[in-house]
Amino acid sequence: MSDSPLPVFAGRVRLAQVRPLVGMSSATIYRRIADGTFPRPVRVSSRCSLFDAVELNRWIADPAGYRADASPDDSAAPVAPAVEAAPAVEAAAPAKPHPFGGAA
């Protein structure tokens, strides 16, 4: 038997299974996700998001010290270069009036 506080899943856990594990409501979980103090779920389809069991175990081990952006394997992640702004587009010349007096 594992020492993990989570039941054995295939690495992903639904919100309905997370709530009783952490003792928080969905609203509190979503608020903490927005604050970066709870693991962010992974979208697996247009209607399904699942939580990573490894990240949940990291949060359970240290809820007060958890930061979603401080993942151990993110330290070696490359930083994306800054994107240059697109050149300004010149305004088009005004349209010629319609020969019969209507809108152009």
pLDDT digits over 4-24, tens only?
555 545 589 999 999 998 999
49: domain range? 12-64
Please say if the pLDDT value at position 80 is more than 90: no
Asked if residue 30 is part of any domain, the answer here is: yes
Asked if residue 74 is part of any domain, the answer here is: no
The pLDDT assigned to 96 comes to 75
Q: Which two tokens stand for residue 73?
A: 């394997």
Asked if residue 35 is part of any domain, the answer here is: yes
Asked if residue 77 is part of any domain, the answer here is: no
Asked if residue 91 is part of any domain, the answer here is: no
Asked if residue 76 is part of any domain, the answer here is: no
Q: Is the dihedral of CA 56, 21, 15, 36 positive or negative?
A: negative
Total domain count for the chain?
A: 1
- Band of pLDDT at residue 100, cut at 50, 70 and 90: confident
